[in-house]
Amino acid sequence: MKVTQHIENANGKSLFSFEILPPLKGQNIQCIFDNIEPLMEFKPPFIDVTYHREEYEFKELSSGLLEKKIVKKRPGTVGICSAIQNKYQVDAIPHILCGGFTKEDTENFLIDMDFLGIDNVVALRGDAVKSEIYFKPEKEGNHYASELVTQISNLNNGIYLDADLQNTNKTNFCIGVAGYPEKHMEAPSIDSDIHFLKKKIKNGADYIITQMFFDNQKFFEFVDKCRAAGITVPIIPGLKPISTKKQLNLIPHRFKVDLPDDLIMAVVKAKDNEAVAQIGIEWCINQSKELLKAGIPVLHYYSMGKSENIKAIAGEVF
């Protein structure tokens, strides 16, 4: 079922959902199930599975020259989605990127998902590969998420890349896209970012799911700005409980989001990571309760492959 239908069917009740990462290559599907299992009692209507593009590794040869190797450390997004749907009868949502995909690759990926009975997809541009500063699309690929949304919408209308195909199957994907309450790191301003977010909606996206934030005020202001810009689709907040001291530096650096001073000082004063995890849980519970009070349709948690803290939060909130 589509995310938008889940929201409609909930009749105003807020839903719980979460995102998982494929395991590192070499692991098996059981480690995914072990992570999901403790969260199933909160009845998530859908679970997101991230997509991880290739990385470049450089190995020094005896000649002193560098050999470039392309590696994919976390493959398996579509297989994991299919396994989750089979085992739990819950909608699983693969993330799909512009990066590393030609339009032909994208079309074939979408056809696989359609054949597997996957009804939802989150369309993203993806980041630059680690060894590069700027995002570089494939030569025959989509440059921005808005273009990827157009390609998926086209497929929903039976329009394939090969215009000669006749009597084509129309897919029926519900399309989610990313939104950034504190603006995307490359965007010159929040207004320009929302301008391009609106383009994703105009091209066919059905809902927005946000980057993590730690101050609800930033989310509420973002929603107000989106509504003022004429964006009417559901906006789902993404929440991440802090769990280690290291994340105090890592999260602002990696995601370009601010941490509130109260949260920073509490983490700084914490005696160890166990205490930090507890602070993160309590902070996230407070955020969640305020968002629920505001009637937000879905709260979406970034599990980052760990379920204990999300379970502790969901147990208090849902």
- Of the candidate spans 26-34, 39-47, 180-188, 220-228, the one that interacts with ligand FAD by CB under 6 A turns out to be 180-188
CA–CA separation, 78 and 22 (whole Å): 10
Helix (H, G, I), strand (E, B) or coil at 155: helix
- Residue closer to ligand FAD, measured from CB, 97 or 266: 97
Minimum distance from CB of 218 to ligand FAD (Å)?
14
Q: Quick check: 175 binds ligand FAD (CB under 6 A)? A: no
Kindly tell me which residue out of 25, 115, 131, 196 binds ligand FAD, with binding defined by CB under 6 A: 196
- Residue closer to ligand FAD, measured from CB, 18 or 42: 18
CA–CA separation, 31 and 26 (whole Å): 11
Beta strands in 98-181 (DSSP E): 120-124, 174-179
Q: Are the beta carbons of 255 and 240 closer than 8 angstroms? A: no
Q: Quick check: 187 binds ligand FAD (CB under 6 A)? A: yes
Q: Are the beta carbons of 175 and 123 closer than 8 angstroms? A: yes
Interaction pattern, residues 103-142, with ligand FAD; x per rule: CB under 6 A: ---------------------xxxx---------------
Residues 6+ apart with CB under 8 A from 77: 22, 49, 50, 51, 52, 94, 95
- Residue closer to ligand FAD, measured from CB, 35 or 270: 35
CA–CA separation, 304 and 240 (whole Å): 9
Phi, psi of 85 (to 5 degrees): -60, -40
Minimum distance from CB of 248 to ligand FAD (Å)?
20
Q: Quick check: 47 binds ligand FAD (CB under 6 A)? A: no
Minimum distance from CB of 7 to ligand FAD (Å)?
16
Task: Determine the longest span between alpha carbons in the chain, in angstroms.
Answer: 66
Interface positions with ligand FAD (CB under 6 A): 50-51, 53, 95, 97, 124-127, 144-146, 178, 184, 186-187, 192-193, 196, 200, 209, 211, 238
